[in-house]
Chains A and B, each alone.
Chain A
Amino acid sequence: MIGCYTLFRKEMARFGKVWFQTVLSPIVTAMLYLMIFSQILEGRIEVFEGVGYTEFLIPGLLMMTVIQNAFANSSSSLVQSKTLGNLIFILMAPISTLQIFLAYTAAAVARGLMVGLGVLLIGLFYVKVPVHNFGIILLFAICSSAVLGALGIIAGIWADKFDQMAAFQNFIIVPLSFLSGVFYSIHSLQGVWHTLSRFNPFLYMIDGFRYGFFGVSDVPLGTSLTVVFVSLIVLSAVSCWMIHTGYKLRQ
């Protein structure tokens, strides 16, 4: 277990050394969204009854930031270690598949939660967001960042170069996280868009997370929980399988 914990600490130290870029910068980006969207839309749109737009926006924005950063952490760390060749220190060490998985995922969760906390603190300057059920909030934050941490491991192992990883990030993670009801309720979408949205797993993460704040959601809470848990199990299994077989890691 010491090996696993050390790898986790190494991963924390890695993003900690460049916290300006890994923690502060996403918080600032989220703050910009918050400023702009709340300026323009506050008072014009009411998604949930009795909930102001800024209030509605904060949990979604928070979760979007958590998702993107959890993914970025494990994927960029792996691609970087692979291209620089220093991943061999971990591949040659007596650390088991499960331990490697846990260490990378835990670090991704930690970064996700740190960034999320930053966004929350800034959001609180704007408006006081209610808390309906803190347990649900935490559960969704942790499980969703773990899902993205695992997905980041998969992408990081699969990608041979930074470009491929960036493509994964820019063409899959970012669009899906934007189109997941951060800025609107999916009920405001029509026809095919509404149907398509239902296949976006990020929607359930954000919706369940938002339920924790307001006690109201677009999708039943049970459905969101199920989607998040199933994603977590499937992606964890896939990433453990990749680490175990040495896919693209051990030739």
Chain B
Amino acid sequence: MTIPAISIQALCKNYGPVQALKNINLKIAQGEFFGLLGPNGAGKSTLINTLAGLTRPTSGTLEVMSHNVISDYLAARAHLGVVPQEIVFDPFFSVREALVFQSGYYGLTTNDSWIDELLITLKLTEKANANMRALSGGMKRRVLIAQALVHKPPVVVLDEPTAGVDVELRKSLWRFVNALHNDGHTIVLTTHYLEEAEALCDRIAIIDHGELIALESKRELMRRGLGQKLKVSSNSPLPDVPANLQSKIVNLSSHQLELRLHREHDSVMNILDQLKAAGFQIDDLGVETDSLEDIFVQLTSEQAN
């Protein structure tokens, strides 16, 4: 058996009275594209930061490529590249200087050809000698990505790399991260967009209030078909809902009906036909995408059942 890229056991982290992480157990295999999904404040960054050594765990153990992040921190860090959520930079230096220093921190004295390659792939070549302050937010984020990759780490972690990033850059980031994955890097990505996790990741963990509430492959998650609702309203009182749709009811009032849709199996047209056949006078309708919170509620209630 090969060693896991990341292994987390019984990880707890308290900030004073706040339990940011509650007994997290997680193994990520080498070569996986792993998504860590959760709403704001769920504990994603805290998890990443304990892995990177920026935050001390209250209890539990973390390993990167089987190196403990505390007792064997030099080796653990050498195998890890983290792109932080917050954009940070050193205003004293240019893009290239930042990358050359970063290489040195990882023990590399000559790294120019790889740095040039990174600059090209991340479209930063023109800005190589510009001061970090002169860069736009998107460019600074790309520099952070380059910094995380100077030492070609086997495990790459990106903490919400697409938050507040325009569509164009988001797409090129996805392509770039996919290419990294195809090169054999283990990728861990945190996000609060379900679509993003689904589009990219092989396996997805869902974290909420510091707890891992689901951990499954993308296929399993898709099979559950979570994520959409059909809202129908009428000016006249609604008749009875057909029996085969009863199980999908989320909300029902005299003039409004809300149904849960299975994204793969249910067809909106089909359901509307059934409703019309049952005598529904539909004056308004809409399909809504669930917020992550809604999905968590469904998942947690499913687990409870």
Contacts and interface: CB of A to CB of B under 8 A. Distances in A.
Interface of A: 2-3, 5-7, 9-10, 13-14, 17-18, 81, 84-86, 88-96, 246, 250-251
A6 B101 contact: yes
B7 interface: no
B107 A86 contact: no
9 contacts: A2-B104, A6-B104, A13-B97, A14-B92, A84-B88, A88-B84, A92-B53, A94-B77, A250-B56
Contacts of A95: 105
B55 A93 contact: no
B1 interface: no
B52 interface: yes
A89 B105 contact: yes
Contact of A246 (B56, B97, B106, B107): B56
B92 A89 contact: no
B120 interface: no
A92 B91 contact: no
B90 A84 contact: yes
B274 to A, nearest CB: 55
A11 to B, nearest CB: 10
Interface string B100-117: 011111111100000000
A95 B105 CA distance: 7
Given A86-B88, A94-B74, 9 more contacts: A3-B104, A6-B104, A10-B104, A81-B90, A88-B88, A92-B80, A93-B106, A94-B106, A251-B15
B193 interface: no
Interface of B: 15, 52-56, 73-75, 77-78, 80, 82, 84, 86, 88-93, 97, 101-109, 147
Contact of A251 (B56, B84, B88): B56
B55 to A, nearest CB: 5
A92 B90 contact: no
A2 B109 contact: yes
A251 B15 CA distance: 8
A91 B53 contact: yes
A3 B91 CA distance: 20
B73 A13 contact: no
A17 to B, nearest CB: 5
Chain A to chain B: the 9 pairs with minimum beta-carbon distance, closest first: A6-B104, A85-B88, A93-B105, A94-B77, A94-B74, A86-B90, A94-B78, A2-B107, A86-B88
A41 to B, nearest CB: 41
Nearest to A15: B92
B56 A13 contact: no
B86 A85 contact: yes
Contacts of A250: 53-56
B91 to A, nearest CB: 7
A86 B104 contact: no
A92 B86 contact: no
B105 A88 contact: no
Contacts of A9: 101, 104
Given A3-B105, A6-B105, A95-B105, A86 B89 contact: yes
Contacts of A17: 92
Contacts of A246: 56
A115 B88 CA distance: 31
B58 to A, nearest CB: 11
Contact of B77 (A7, A13, A86, A92): A92
A189 to B, nearest CB: 43
A89 B90 contact: yes
B253 to A, nearest CB: 48
Contacts of B92: 13-14, 17-18
A89 B82 CA distance: 10
A91 B54 contact: yes
A73 to B, nearest CB: 13
B147 A89 contact: yes
